[in-house]
Chains A and B, each alone.
Chain A
């Protein structure tokens, strides 16, 4: 009877999910309610977790709870710490959830709500979660080894080196692009710039508190910091309204870019206790709170989805970024469906803390489902504002003009009604001078979030506070990735440099530290600067580059996972990683090819550069702008070269792996796994890690 009830319940969940997905897919005409999105996503996630992840756990990986995990065998109270599965789920989710799943779906809403939502749900269930889960499992079986180390051992030393280089290159591009998102959100906004500056000051104060006054008392420091940050959000309004102070904090895009570059350099060289760690403690609570309020807000307000299911821009003529729905919808969504960067976390801290192998399913697969849900919420927030406003905020001035009247005329001509007054009024309501031409997704997401928040608490009166809370949350989110990423990039450069000259590899050696930090900051700073001065808004060329690099790293992770499954003798189930890997290779290679060689100058880097060259030759560029145009041409050609290098790295990696697979399948080489030897667990079956000696 119990079994019968279970089957009926799961059938009901599956039917409900399919019905909601069907409603989203075929609905036309009147606006759809956001609850359909929530129901469709949650039901699909539940079914995917209950069935697909259980299948992967039982048949493909054959998880073994009698096997001692690294946290049991190597428990040192530092890196290897047996941790309760709920706590570790929280740790893992906090580490994988970055600004990507918020910004990507917001930008992909340019195609309409349908393609992005379907990919967020299906991509996560069949690719993203599988990648995170299997890489976590592989790393657990190898004492927490990193993706690069696993690639070196299981594929070849060349494969490991390529993976290491790919991680470094991808990190540089990602830092430049997410910095651009924040520059576009903060430019000419004294309120937002002041609030973000204050979060840095608050983090410094907390750093001193945690270091000298109350070492390690993270909770009390976080509560103090949280109160100060909320006060800074409110105080930002006074700064914005003050004639003298607002001038101090009103910065242009270029000034903000340089401020971020200087910040990145200083933050990555300062001791971590002073800035990085306390700021991370702050963002952990703000992140959890913002996600919770957004979910609660969507459930309470149940906003109407005003964006159509498909827009006219599926043909590749989108104003935010150019490119057809295939492959650019998948490239743009990136982290919300599958993120290569997660494989670095799944093969980093988490495997060293996991209590039992079976927990990998809940933590690896489950946390990615939650991240995908964050992406769906971002899509709902972006699509619940009128399409005209969405396009006005996100489109560059070169396409829609830089006055409300010009933007209203252009966007209305596309078929998305917009009047100039509504943009001016909205800007006033959120406490900004203008919301036009803020490509990058952050401001439009903040407007969407603020509308949902203010409909839950405070009404229109609090719209400006909620908007700046959302901007602060997104900007702080980006800063954590920016300075933390710069620091990790610095270590990578020092490690690579140390192979050529030993002293350079010593992380405590000051000249080495400064040179490597400057190299990393200079590299991502260059991408940031070229994005800021790009007349097409920067996002058009850089976000696809970020998406391509992120998805290529996911392809690397799936190549490693497939190789390991093959060596484990799971030939029958190889499609579990092989199909998503093949899909990613096709998507990224198509996108790379189009971004380099496409004849449309808004899509292809080379044709964009050639078009500018023709304009210079024809004399249609004023003499004063020739040097600037030549710089733009150089940047476009550089972007083309970077894309080619990234794509080549992955093709090389694939060739290395294919050689291995062929040798194993044709029995020319023995399939040698580099797993740690089996040790039987000493823990009782009910041990949950929560107690660990004190319960």
Chain B
């Protein structure tokens, strides 16, 4: 029992590291998509306001144009 549990523990250690790495990569990828604006439409669909809204949801094209027009009507870049 003792040796078996030790080997099981040893086998699980690299797997944990692997899982940690996968988790880190997943977080990084998600962060990159959020930062670049790639995930903006997904966010919009997930927001509670969109889910609860009575008015129809915007299509990806409509959302893309609408968010750009809002973003570029106020200072969004510094000197």
> Which residues of A pack against B, CB within 8 Å?
75-79, 81, 83-84, 86-87, 90-91, 94-100, 146, 167, 174, 178, 210-211, 215-219, 222, 272-273, 276-277, 280-281, 284-285, 335, 339, 341-342, 344-345, 348-349, 480-481, 484-485, 487-488, 491, 507, 546, 550, 690, 692-694
Tell me if B30 is interfacial: C-beta within 8 Å of chain A. Answer: yes
> Which residues of B pack against A, CB within 8 Å?
27, 30-38, 40-41, 43-50, 60-61, 63-79
Give min CB distance, A121 to chain B, whole Å: 20
Minimum CB distance partner of B45 in chain A:
A77
Give min CB distance, A80 to chain B, whole Å: 8
A284 touches B36 (CB 8 A): yes
Measured between beta carbons, the chain B residues less than 8 angstroms from A78 are 44, 47, 66-67, 70
Measured between beta carbons, the chain B residues less than 8 angstroms from A219 are 32-33, 36, 38
A277 touches B72 (CB 8 A): yes
Measured between beta carbons, the chain A residues less than 8 angstroms from B72 are 272, 276-277, 484, 487-488
A218 touches B36 (CB 8 A): yes
Give min CB distance, A182 to chain B, whole Å: 13
Q: Which of A81, A87, A285, A484 contacts B77 (CB 8 A)?
A: A484
A-B contact pairs, 13 of them (CB 8 A): A75-B48, A79-B70, A87-B35, A91-B35, A96-B78, A211-B65, A215-B60, A281-B36, A281-B37, A285-B36, A344-B75, A481-B78, A491-B74
B78 touches A342 (CB 8 A): yes
State the CA gap A167–B44 with chains docked (Å): 32
Measured between beta carbons, the chain B residues less than 8 angstroms from A79 are 70
A693 touches B46 (CB 8 A): yes
DSSP class of A's interface residues: helix, strand, loop or mixed?
Answer: helix
Q: In the complex where A91-B35, A216-B60, A217-B38 touch, is A339 in contact with B79 (Cβ < 8 A)?
A: yes
A76 touches B31 (CB 8 A): no
State the CA gap A284–B61 with chains docked (Å): 22
Q: In the complex where A273-B65, A480-B77 touch, is A77 in contact with B50 (Cβ < 8 A)?
A: yes
A95 touches B41 (CB 8 A): no
Measured between beta carbons, the chain A residues less than 8 angstroms from B75 are 167, 341, 344-345, 348, 485, 488
A99 touches B76 (CB 8 A): no
Measured between beta carbons, the chain B residues less than 8 angstroms from A487 are 72-73
Give min CB distance, B63 to chain A, whole Å: 7
Give min CB distance, A373 to chain B, whole Å: 16
Q: In the complex where A77-B45, A86-B31, A481-B78 touch, is A273 in contact with B68 (Cβ < 8 A)?
A: yes
A210 touches B79 (CB 8 A): no
